[in-house]
Amino acid sequence: MRIDLHTHSTASDGTDTPAELVRNAAAAGLDVVALTDHDTVRGHAEAAAALPEGLTLVTGAELSCRTSGGTGLHLLAYLFDPDEPELERERELVRDDRVPRARAMVAKLRDLGVPVTWEQVARIAGDGSVGRPHIATALVELGVVGSVPDAFTPDWLADGGRAYAEKHELDPFAAVRLVRAAGGVTVLAHPLAARRGVAHIGEDEIAELAGAGLDGIEVDHMDHDATARARLRALAGDLGLLTTGSSDYHGSRKSCRLGEYTTDPEIYGEIVRRATGAFPVPGTGG
């Protein structure tokens, strides 16, 4: 089995619609794909309706979190009940803050002399949940930076950067608790991917999250080199955490291909076993 547990669609900041994403996942030879758009489950229904035969959909979301010490991190949540009221309310708070935050970053960029407009960013975001990758794409269009990753630096959109603006984010310990209460499973996303504008999180903080109920760590990821992967795999072993691998696919917005990194079938089976809020959706040829 080939299993990719971290992808994005136009429901957040990917460039494939949910239907296109599952069709592309099947074409890439995947058996299981997780749709984990940022702070939203809006793409799940379309993805499920379009599932090709033989492909299984894992419903999920990538939750925006920040520790009390100011460390930004992302938490992958799988197979939770999307209608659980408390978790749904928190996701809505994060989503509702995305537009004011994006407008604030556009204003900061204009103050820095960049001729970006809100209309340009809104056009790029389309129906998705607007975020930094859409603003980064605008900077690429304007020739300010050469690529989307180049925008995630202190000069521009990285945490604390000149054009950065804060938004409502979940406390990660509360997020782990909420996802578990909704029957879901949590995996810490790309914890050492600082170049993507997400700060390094210390091993002590990961250990605290494990003590609070975190299920796993995303180890095999395009932004983790061999040293980072070995470090995280050893840490996961010490803490009794699951280890996953994923593409973090964003369509044409990132260079990583669907299925470039995958999760061991036994780990996937354990994630499904632990989940009680939802079940993977098997493709029926839609």
3-state SS record for the chain? CCEEEEECCCCCCCCCCHHHHHHHHHHCCCCEEEECCECCCCCHHHHHHCCCCCCEEEEEEEEEEECCCCCEEEEEEECCCCCCHHHHHHHHHHHHCHHHHHHHHHHHHHHCCCCCCHHHHHHHHCCCCCCHHHHHHHHHHCCCCCCCHHHCCCCCCCCCCCCCCCCCCECHHHHHHHHHHCCCEEEECCCCCHHHCCCCCCHHHHHHHHHCCCCEEEEECCCCCHHHHHHHHHHHHHHCCEEEECCCECHHHCCCCCCCCCCCHHHHHHHHHHCCCCCCEECCCC
Statement: residue 163 has pLDDT above 90: yes
pLDDT of 285: 53
Residue-wise pLDDT tens digits, 79-108: 999 999 999 999 999 888 889 999 999 999
**Mean per-residue pLDDT for 131-142?**
95
Statement: residue 36 has pLDDT above 70: yes
pLDDT of 190: 93
Statement: residue 28 has pLDDT above 50: yes
Split at pLDDT 50, 70, 90, the class of 195 is low
Residue-wise pLDDT tens digits, 276-285: 999 999 997 5
CB atoms within 10 A of CB 164: 18
Residue-wise pLDDT tens digits, 52-62: 999 999 999 99
Residue-wise pLDDT tens digits, 60-71: 999 999 988 888
pLDDT of 19: 98
pLDDT of 127: 84
**Mean per-residue pLDDT for 20-28?**
98
Residue-wise pLDDT tens digits, 236-260: 999 999 999 999 999 987 778 999 9
pLDDT of 286: 45
Statement: residue 145 has pLDDT above 60: yes
Q: What is the pLDDT of the chain when averaged over all its residues?
A: 93
29-33, 138-142, 280-284: which has the minimum mean pLDDT?
280-284
